Amino acid sequence: MAWHILSCVILSVFLAGTYCQDSTVREPPSADVAKEIGICRYCQCKDGIVDCYDRNITTFFSKDMWADLTEFKPTHADLSENDFTNVSIIAELPIEVLNLSHSRIEFIENASFKDLRSLRVLDLSHNKLTSAKLSPHAFEGRYSPEKYEPLPAMRVLSLAYNELHSLNQDLFEHLPELTDLDLSGNPLTTLDHVTVIAISSLPMLKVLRMRSCQLPDIPEKFLHTPRYLERLDLSDNQLTAVPQELEETKNLLYLNLNQNPIRRIDASDEDYPGFPRLRKLQELHMCNMPELRSIGAGALGGLQALSALHMSFNPKLSSIHPKALARPDDIGENYDWPPVTELYLQSNNLSEIDSRLVSRWDLVRAVDVSDNPYLCDCSTQWMVDILVPVVEKAGSNSTKLVCQEPVEMRGYTMKHLHDIHRTMRCVDKYGHRPERDGAILMGTLIGVLLSVPIMLSLMLLWRRGYFSCIGLSGPVDVSRAFYKRAPAEDFLS
């Protein structure tokens, strides 16, 4: 009996010790617990990232489901490529980047992001948002006794490729610190008064993207308020001339005008004016422009800090004036050029590049002027002697600088001509080409040789009267017309 009691006591002590040991070894609940609850049952939650990309989600997660992630402390959430149409309020979380793109969103509930105090980047691109349904209240912050607070950390907002024809003038009133706005791909067509007010209400804006918005022009004062604007993308619109309103952008560093139907740029042409003075612009893109034909003198002279010029894949661009980048100095006697160090002119229709286009070719560190139909004569000798080494030094392929004319030079590369120290001939002062003159002379000689037997044959046929059927009498018929038989009575008398 005593042994039985002792055994029970020992067993009790052992079990108690085991329980105590388990309670001391067990760790507190970790963040990984979130993987088994709430949103993480549908998405992958790891390293502070909630990855719900392309999970066939048709209903936006509730606030309670978001709240289950509190211990997980996510900083990034990706809900792109899903099928929900409405966005509702998200619980308080330290999310910094929220991707809701490609998700068929049509409506955003008021103050949906008010508790995301750390939210810096919000991507709403490629959805179904319309001007009527996108309300300023969607971006409200927390409510204070006086007003709704702004979203304090928001810096980047993408509304690209939605169905916005216009913007509510108060759309960004809760985003005063926004620095990067993307409106690309929206059918704005024209920037109406309320849209101008909406964008002008962003005093800290540094990056504005308005690609493919069907814009024919830029209205006055549109760029007056965002004084800190550094990057502007107006590519793939319907601009037919360089917008003179760009002069309002005092701090612009980057400008993209690709794929606009601008025909030419000329400082002396009111219809196609040159660039206004942009003292700080460093990089300009004017590529894939189907109508661009020529760049006149001083057309880019206002870009006095330009260092990178991208002007490629313009199939009709055949002329760039030697002083296209030059501007008269303060006295007006000399010219100044911008410090271009990157030059891209490939795949245009240029027959030559003038040596005066850039002031210091030895400072150019990146250059591509390939795939143009070059004329190889004495006017482009400098390209063989100087430009080819510059291209080689920049790491580009100089074998793509190929001669198109004259005929005897066609197919030669400028690198080959450089390697063999070839000196190219000049056309004469009238611009005549010997090879063309030879072709004309040969054609004339052949024409003469062929015309002589043809004319002799025609004359022979005419003499024999073969053309009488069309009213051309031969010499035999003519002589008969002058001879007339005398009447019989004349002989009798």
77-84: average pLDDT: 97
pLDDT at 445: 76
**Domain map (residue ranges) of the chain:** 32-206, 230-371
For residue 68, give the 3-state DSSP assignment: coil
**pLDDT given for residue 301 in this prediction:** 94
Q: Residue 294: which of 270, 320, 268, 276 has the closest Cα?
A: 320
Kind and range of the H or E run holding 208: strand 207-209
Task: Summarize pLDDT for 225-244 with one digit per residue, the tens.
Answer: 888 999 999 999 999 999 99
* DSSP conformational letter for 468: G
> What number of other Cβ atoms are within 10 A of residue 480's Cβ?
10
Highest mean pLDDT among 25-29, 93-97, 269-273: 93-97
Rounded distance between C-alpha atoms, residue 36 and residue 52, angstroms: 15
Which CATH architecture best describes the domain 32-206?
Alpha-Beta Horseshoe (3.80)
- Phi and psi dihedrals of 187, rounded to 5? -75, 60
Q: Which two tokens stand for residue 12?
A: 């009790």
Split at pLDDT 50, 70, 90, the class of 33 is: very low
Is the model more confident about 7 or about 439? 439
Whole-angstrom distance, CA of residue 8 vs CA of residue 14: 10
pLDDT value at position 21? Answer: 40
> How are beta strands 264-265 and 283-285 bridged, if at all?
unpaired
Instruction: Specify burial of residue 232 (Cβ count, 10 A radius: 0-12, 13-18, 19+).
Output: buried
Q: What confidence tier does 486 reach under pLDDT thresholds 50, 70, 90?
A: low
Specify the pLDDT at position 450. Answer: 79
CA atoms of 206 and 177, how far apart (whole Å) = 10
Given a cut of 60, whether residue 492 has pLDDT beyond it is no
pLDDT at 347 over 80: yes
Distances (CA, A) of 348 to 77, 198, 470: 44, 39, 57
Cβ atoms of 95 and 74 closer than 8 Å:
yes
Q: In this predicted structure, what is the pLDDT of residue 331?
A: 73
pLDDT for res 440:
65
For residues 285 and 290, give the distance between their C-alpha atoms in angstroms, rounded to a whole number.
14
Whether 428 shows a pLDDT value over 80: the answer reads: no
Say yes or no to pLDDT of 490 above 70.
no
230-371 folds as 3.80.10
Describe the chain by its helix, strand, coil percentages, rounded to 5. Answer: 25, 15, 60
**pLDDT, tens digit, for every residue of 185-225?**
999 998 999 999 999 999 999 999 999 999 999 998 888 88
Among 311, 315, 447, which Cα is nearest to 373's?
A: 315
pLDDT above 60 (res 176): yes
Exposure b/e, 43-61, CB count within 10 A at least 16 = b: bebeeeebbbeeeebeebb
Res 306 pLDDT > 60: yes
Distance CA 99, CA 111 (A): 17
Residue 88 binned pLDDT confidence (cut-offs 50, 70, 90): very high
Among 84-98, 211-225, 311-325, 431-445, the range scoring the smallest mean pLDDT is 431-445
Q: Quick one: pLDDT band at residue 493, thresholds 50, 70, 90?
A: very low
Selection from 10-14, 33-37, 281-285, 425-429 with the highest mean pLDDT: 281-285
Q: Residue 82, class by beta-carbon neighbours within 10 Å (0-12 exposed, 13-18 middle, 19+ buried)?
A: buried
Distance between CA atoms of residues 234 and 354, nearest Å? 29
Tokens found for residue 388: 């080819």
32-206 and 230-371: identical CATH topology: yes
Lowest mean pLDDT among 208-222, 251-265, 286-300, 452-466: 452-466
Taking the C-alpha atoms of residue 373 and residue 100, their distance in angstroms, rounded to an integer, is 47
Residue 363, Cβ neighbours under 10 Å: how many? 12
Contacts of residue 194, defined as CB under 8 A and 6 or more positions apart, other chains included, come to 166, 167, 168, 169
Sign of CA dihedral 8, 9, 12, 18: negative
pLDDT(247) > 60: yes
pLDDT attached to residue 145: 65
pLDDT at 441 over 90: no
Which has the closest alpha carbon to 175: 195, 193, 197, 157?
157
Mind giving me the DSSP string for 412-424? -BHHHHHHTTPPP
Min mean pLDDT across 57-61, 80-84, 178-182, 479-483 is at 479-483
Q: What is the pLDDT of residue 292?
A: 97
Query: What mean pLDDT, rounded, does the chain reach?
Result: 86
Q: What is the predicted pLDDT for the residue at 409?
A: 92
The residue among 373, 384, 378 whose CA lies nearest residue 346 is: 373
